Amino acid sequence: MANIELRTMRAEEWGDVAALICDSTNGWCESRGRPVMFSGPKQDVQVFCSVYEKLDPGCCVVAEDIVTRRLAGSCFYHPRSSHVSLGIMNVHPDYFGQGVASRMLRHITDVADRTGKPMRLVSSTLNLDSYCLYNRVGFVPRLIYHDMILKVPAGGLDCEVPGAERVRPATAADVAAMIELEWEVNHIRRENDLRYFVENADGIWHVSVLEGRGGSLDGFLVSIAHPAIRMLGPGAIRTEDGTAALILAELNQHRGHQPVWLVPADRPRLVHQMYAWGAINCELHFAQARGEWSPPNGIVMPTFLPETG
Ligand SMILES: CC(C)(COP(=O)(O)OP(=O)(O)OC[C@H]1O[C@@H](n2cnc3c(N)ncnc32)[C@H](O)[C@@H]1OP(=O)(O)O)[C@@H](O)C(=O)NCCC(=O)NCCS
């Protein structure tokens, strides 16, 4: 470990970090006999660098082997006004079990501790390596999520859902209400992220909102369509019916494709609605928090890019 130094990712390293994320994640999956996470070109995975750097420039810590000049690990983090969230964490298989992840994590928990902020992340329940890593520094699993997948028919899903008539695409004028709704439902604030999704300068995002009474919002749900990641979330919604209506609207943005999304396991009616549409489980995730946390006032749908919990 003496030969490992931590520093901030450089702009010219996006390709190396993308390759590291692929080799680490796919290597871990293969060693457990699971299907690989990233099956396309490694360079597609640079989307993690481009999205995270747009939202939080300079917040990717890399671990460099100063003898070989190889990148041994990388981890993104997001200091927000209410909390610090931890993004994708990776160590190259050649460096597994040598304390590289623990050092990067300690670097990030120090950032949170200096500002007195709680932390959030989403981690796979099937990955004891990352579970132990996070648990040892004080993360507590708070919510369990079903990872659900569904091949959306080319003509879209044709289902009846109460409230569907109140769902529409978000506009810039909705962002202030989305910020307040997420604060009320999930007790976090991340103004830049929500503005960035709705602006959609990259052309990979779509956001639906659920109109409430008197011009208020009862929910929003974002989704990303990119070769490296096709996923619904983040979302914050007041009711289960509203969540189903927003999921349906966002699934229909992915016609002919198979997105993944996270549904809270403690909402069986919602989960069974997803089964009725043909969705199946592919994994389980924990939403974890370190420090202050309160149960959601509604439904929270986390995502892996940018990570929230
Ligand atoms: C998960 C991952 C990042 C861990 O990286 P790593 O560098 O091998 O981890 P470390 O060597 O720092 O070990 C992590 C900690 O877990 C501890 N640990 C490992 N197995 C443990 C177990 N069964 N019980 C308790 N603690 C355990 C280690 O002792 C270490 O703690 P310490 O530093 O306080 O001693 C790495 O396996 C990886 O990149 N996997 C693929 C991608 C991935 O899963 N990322 C996380 C997504 S949520």
* Residue 265's pLDDT band (cuts 50, 70, 90): very high
Q: Is the pLDDT of residue 212 over 80?
A: yes
129, 285, 307, best to mutate for ligand 1 pocket (most atoms within 8 Å of CB): 129
* Residue whose CA is at the smallest distance from ligand 1 atom 27: 132
Q: Is the pLDDT of residue 111 over 80?
A: yes
Does the beta carbon of 90 sit less than 6 angstroms from any atom of ligand 1? yes
Average pLDDT over residues 114-140: 96
What is the rounded CA–CA span in Å between residue 137 and residue 272? 35
Q: Is the pLDDT of residue 238 over 80?
A: yes
What is the rounded CA–CA span in Å between residue 234 and residue 179? 12
Whether omega for the bond prior to residue 259 falls within 30 degrees of 0, making it cis, is no
Average pLDDT over residues 273-302: 97
pLDDT of residue 273: 97
Give me the percent of the chain exceeding a pLDDT of 70. 99
What is the rounded CA–CA span in Å between residue 266 and residue 221? 19
* Residue whose CA is at the smallest distance from ligand 1 atom 26: 132
Does the beta carbon of 308 sit less than 6 angstroms from any atom of ligand 1? no
Least confidently predicted of 43-47, 158-162, 195-199, 246-250: 158-162
pLDDT of residue 309: 67
Average pLDDT over residues 167-189: 97
Go through the domains of the chain in sequence order and give each one's CATH number.
Answer: 4-117 (3.40.630.30), 146-288+295-301 (3.40.630.30)
Q: Strand, coil or helix: what is 117?
A: coil
pLDDT of residue 106: 98
128-163 pLDDT, tens digit each: 999 999 999 999 999 999 999 999 999 999 999 999
Does the beta carbon of 129 sit less than 6 angstroms from any atom of ligand 1? yes
Q: How far is CA 53 from CA 14, 48, 87, 305, in A?
A: 10, 8, 12, 12
Contact call for residues 83 and 309 (beta carbons, < 8 A): no
Does the beta carbon of 25 sit less than 6 angstroms from any atom of ligand 1? yes
Does the beta carbon of 135 sit less than 6 angstroms from any atom of ligand 1? no
Q: Is the pLDDT of residue 55 over 80?
A: yes
Cα(77) to centroid of ligand 1, in Å?
Answer: 17
Q: Is the dihedral of CA 173, 178, 184, 188 positive or negative?
A: negative
Q: Is the pLDDT of residue 190 over 80?
A: yes
Does the beta carbon of 133 sit less than 6 angstroms from any atom of ligand 1? yes
Does the beta carbon of 109 sit less than 6 angstroms from any atom of ligand 1? no
What is the average pLDDT score of the chain? 96
* Residue 214's pLDDT band (cuts 50, 70, 90): confident
Output the pTM of the full model.
Answer: 0.96
Give me the percent of the chain exceeding a pLDDT of 90. 95
* Residue 307's pLDDT band (cuts 50, 70, 90): confident
Cα(223) to centroid of ligand 1, in Å?
Answer: 30
Q: Of all atoms in ligand 1, which is nearest to the CA of residue 128?
A: 23
Contact call for residues 244 and 123 (beta carbons, < 8 A): no
Strand locations in 80-228 (E): 84-91, 119-124, 140-149, 167-169, 205-211, 217-226
91, 104, 127, best to mutate for ligand 1 pocket (most atoms within 8 Å of CB): 91
pLDDT of residue 215: 83
Least confidently predicted of 30-39, 172-181, 219-228, 278-287: 30-39
pLDDT of residue 2: 73
* Residue whose CA is at the smallest distance from ligand 1 atom 35: 99
